[in-house]
Amino acid sequence: MRILLTGGTGFVGRYVLSELLAQGHEVRALIRRGGVPEGFESRNVEVVRADINGVLVRFMQGMDGVVHLVGIIKEVPRQKVTFEILHTQATQNVVNAAKAAGVPRLVFVSANGASEQGATRYQTTKWAAEEAVRKSGLEQWCILRPGLIFGDPGMEREEFCTVLASNLIKPLPILPVFGDGLYQMQPIAVEEVAQSVVQALTRPDAHAQTIAAVGRRRLTYIELLDVVTRALSNNPRPKIKVPASFIRAGMRLAGGMLPITPDQLTMLLEGNVADETAFYETFSVTERPFDEENLAYLHLRL
């Protein structure tokens, strides 16, 4: 099939691109600006440039499906990078363009925790984006909600475990823990997410489904810290629990200087878990447990 891919230059997007090509699909990758990203030319990917909230119909022409990955975790309002613009408006624009061009399939990668009653605008704008897909009337659609995604990010180091290791675990002899550290996560390998995205384009049992993409293993934040620490060939470190109220006060004083935003802290303390049954029953993926072996890439990047 011919697939339009948005967000293909990001961490997850690069893996989805590889999986699309590996499965024999032709890819038209929509990027905002700049030259052809490294690795795209050699792989015979058609690169087109457009704003995700611009006129997209002409880029949809001749496509059999769309994979929509564009999303942000942090806003930069002065650059018009906001959750409303790049989650809700962008997804509605993609849906409208796909319908106008007669594209029958759309896979949207949202986020676990998306909710109309979410505690953060990240969560509520993701929900609104999902609603645009659910109400689209497209012939076939699927929404995937990944939890915490891990995997080799390349040289950009934009992945959670890499950031955690470089900013916290490597430099500090005692590790601060936000709150009680007992909130849980279900990390999932980026390769599993990519495989499910591509399969969702064609699997009938994925049609009209909103599926949580989370791993089988649940870990507390403290347990996750220990796994990442061992992956760096170190023994688990002593930890000190820092009350969430103290962290929030520090954020107000430090402004944007801290590596985590108030919304990110709120979502972290909520935990990030879901029932993984539908994911593993619907998709045939190569499972990669969250363990030291599958975090070996940390040695390459740090």
Q: Are 272 and 221 in contact (CB under 8 A)?
A: no
Q: What is the pLDDT of residue 263?
A: 87
pLDDT tens readout for residues 113-134: 999 999 999 999 999 999 999 9
Q: Measured between alpha carbons, how far is 37 from 47 in angstroms, rounded to an integer? A: 9
Look at residue 156 and tell me whether its pLDDT is greater than 90. no
Q: What is the pLDDT of residue 252?
A: 72
Q: What is the pLDDT of residue 12?
A: 96
CA atoms within 13 A on the CB side of 238: 3
3-state secondary structure of 34: coil
pLDDT tens readout for residues 162-210: 999 998 999 999 999 999 999 999 999 999 999 999 999 999 999 999 9
Pair of tokens at residue 108: 């949207």
Pair of tokens at residue 218: 């649940």
Count CB atoms within 10 A of the CB of residue 112.
24
We find that the CATH architecture of domain 2-150+187-215+273-287 is 3-Layer(aba) Sandwich (3.40)
Residues above pLDDT 90, as percent of the chain: 82
Pair of tokens at residue 75: 């806003």
Q: Measured between alpha carbons, how far is 174 from 279 in angstroms, rounded to an integer? A: 37
Residue 92: band (very low, low, confident or very high) from pLDDT cuts 50, 70, 90? very high
Q: Indicate whether this model's pTM tops 0.85.
A: yes
